[in-house]
Amino acid sequence: MEYMILPFKRYFEFSGRSRRKEFWMFALLNILVTSAIYVLLFASGGAGTVFNETDPGSGAAFGWLMGGFGLLLLGWGLITLIPSIAVSVRRLHDRDMSGWWYLGVIVGSLIPLLNFIIVIGFIVLMALPGTPGPNRFGPDPKDPTSASIFE
């Protein structure tokens, strides 16, 4: 649980390194919260109203309902935008790569067909272990002698 909220504690920290565990636990938190919002949408009957052809007014109800959940999704996205970028940059630093590579991932993801390859490559890159020992971006976050990151 500590690793899930660690990127919020390191909100604007783009320097240093982050472990795979920090990156993937934060990704899991994003998936869980987003899924919970969608479960609330479906549980409230919002998904069924869009397919209701017998009641022409049900589309308006769906728009109102989806708008509320859309605001929840937008809010969560805005809250996690900076920590997501920061933890990705720090994860690249752990691989001894510049954080500017993440900008290439973002721009490349906007290109049709190429985006799939880039996203898969980014996922693989984030799953690879970091460079052992200190590198140009800081000490090894897995080193037990380094300072505690939870204080």
Give the mean model confidence (pLDDT) for residues 28-53.
Answer: 76
Q: Is the pLDDT of residue 125 over 80?
A: yes
Tell me, yes or no, whether 30 lies in a domain. yes
Tell me, yes or no, whether 135 lies in a domain. no
Q: Is the pLDDT of residue 39 over 90?
A: no
Number of domains, the chain: 1
Tell me, yes or no, whether 146 lies in a domain. no
Tens digits of residue pLDDT in 5-18: 999 999 999 999 99
Tell me, yes or no, whether 58 lies in a domain. yes
Tell me, yes or no, whether 107 lies in a domain. yes
Domain that holds residue 76: 13-127
Instruction: With H, G, I as helix, E, B as strand and everything else as coil, classify residue 138.
Output: strand
Tens digits of residue pLDDT in 52-99: 555 555 555 555 556 677 788 889 999 999 999 999 999 999 999 999
Tell me, yes or no, whether 26 lies in a domain. yes
Mean of the per-residue pLDDT values of the chain: 84
